[in-house]
Chains A and B, each alone.
Chain A
Amino acid sequence: MEKTTIDLWVGIFVAMGFAALLGLAMKVGNLTTTNIGETYMVTANFENIGGLKPRAPIKSAGVVVGRVEGIKLDPKTYEAVVSLNIDKRFSFPKDTFANIYTAGLLGEQYVGLEAGGDENSLKNGDKIIQTQDAVVLEKLISQFLYSKATENDDKPANTAATSTETGADALDASPLDKIGK
């Protein structure tokens, strides 16, 4: 009968839809890698988070162990409070070190955890005390230039001037321009 073929086709259609969704979840998405399993949340304060964004990965020894849940500014200390969602399967000692790294020279930023030696491990709601801020490229360059300039103080004045000039050029060339080239 006609009706049963329609039912059959609709059944196949819906099954295909679910199969495709499952395929997306397993083969394309990261459902299998990070989102399965429960998590616990800890916070960490940074003076500067650079370009860190919510949902950025948290890695330990290069392995993704969680995601950044949210970023707030503490109105009293003017520090950034970053909440970290970490997979329950991985427990870290209390004195774990949290750093903000950049993947590659200009890639996205992530939080790196370096396990310490404490016997107690971090629990839900704990705070990571030892943190290191993001490296801000402009700061790094100006520090570098400053030290260069002081180094060259004893040398003739005109060389110092040329070195600052080249430094200014380097600063003008923003990272985006470099990509363009």
Chain B
Amino acid sequence: MRKIERLLKNLGAGFINKMWRFGAGARLFGLTLVSSGESFRRFRLTIREVYFTGVLSLIIILVSAFFVGMVLALQGYHTLQKYGSSEAIGVLVALALVRELGPVVTALLFAGRAGTAITAEIGLMKATEQLSAMEMMAVSPIARVIAPRFWAGVIAMPILATLFTMMGILGGYMVAVPLIGVDAGSFWSQMQANVDWEYDILNGVFKSLVFGVACTMIALFEGYDAPPTAEGVSRATTRTVVTSSLAVLALDFILTAFMLG
């Protein structure tokens, strides 16, 4: 009896805590939007962060994309070949990347590469009283530190996802055309006939934009909310990856349902 009671209590407390964090995150999101003026008026602050979140994630994104594209082409070929439609491999690779893998895998990699860096950086700034010092200098940390990073993430994510998709298709091409021997012409033409600019490509970009908002905001919130100790920061970094990944996959389902429906 006591055990059940304690279990229920813990569950309830955990739930309330989650809701509290969700609310606090939403509040920070609102504050960030309100105090975004700084990140546009002094755009150099944002550019700097685009460098750290976007440019520095470029290598991992491009290399992963190349391999993902190659694997897709290999796997797809083996199945499609059974039905004698191996030219459709271009469509398969392109649609999978444009609609799903491009935005989703980019967001997952982004959470691991840039998200953790953001959380650790903000958490450390908090632990070493840099945010407090900024407050005492009458400079709002949300306007000066959070908002530029937020917008940088929102800008960088669609660019990274687009590059991922393009690189993945290139990887698929490398396997399909020179390696397997699918005709280059039908590879591209089938793709063009079946990939729609608005319904596939723009929707994919929109997805990555939403993921950009979610991943960056989660990373920022975890950093901003981290207990100012070494342990607190390291836990917050872990939470960033876990929460971002779950959020990306859940959002992906919701967005896909809306887009197909």
Contact = CB atoms under 8 A, between A and B. Distances in A.
Contact of A29 (B44, B47, B158, B196): B196
Given A28-B201, A30-B192, A10 B163 contact: no
Given A20-B166, A24-B201, A13 B48 contact: no
B47 A6 contact: yes
A23 B50 contact: no
Interface string A1-25: 0010011011011101100110111
Interface stretch (B34-42, B51-59, B140-148, B226-234): B51-59
B201 A10 contact: no
A165 B159 CA distance: 60
Nearest to B156: A13
Interface in A14-57: 14, 16-17, 20-21, 23-25, 27-33, 35, 55
A55 B199 contact: yes
A25 B197 contact: yes
Nearest to B56: A9
A28 B199 contact: no
Contacts of B83: 179
Contacts of A179: 83
B200 interface: yes
What band does the interface of chain B fall in when counting residues whose beta carbon is under 8 Å from A?
A: 20 to 34
A93 to B, nearest CB: 27
Nearest to A57: B193
Contact of B163 (A6, A16, A28, A55): A16
A13 B155 CA distance: 11
Contact of A13 (B54, B195, B199): B54
Main secondary structure of the interface of A (DSSP, over half): helix
B199 to A, nearest CB: 7
Interface residues of A, number: 26
A13 B193 CA distance: 29
Interface in A135-179: 179
B175 interface: no
Contacts of B188: 27
A137 to B, nearest CB: 19
B196 A10 contact: no
Interface string B125-146: 0000000000000000000000
Contact of B195 (A6, A14, A20, A29): A29
A13 B50 contact: yes
Given A10-B51, A29-B195, A33-B192, A24 B98 contact: yes
B116 interface: no
B67 to A, nearest CB: 17
A10 B197 contact: no
A29 B201 contact: yes
Interface of B: 44, 47-48, 50-51, 54-55, 58, 83, 94, 98, 155-156, 158-160, 162-163, 165-166, 169, 188, 191-201, 205
Interface of A: 3, 6-7, 9-10, 12-14, 16-17, 20-21, 23-25, 27-33, 35, 55, 64, 179
Closest 9 CB pairs of A and B: A17-B159, A31-B197, A20-B166, A29-B197, A20-B162, A6-B51, A9-B55, A29-B195, A10-B50
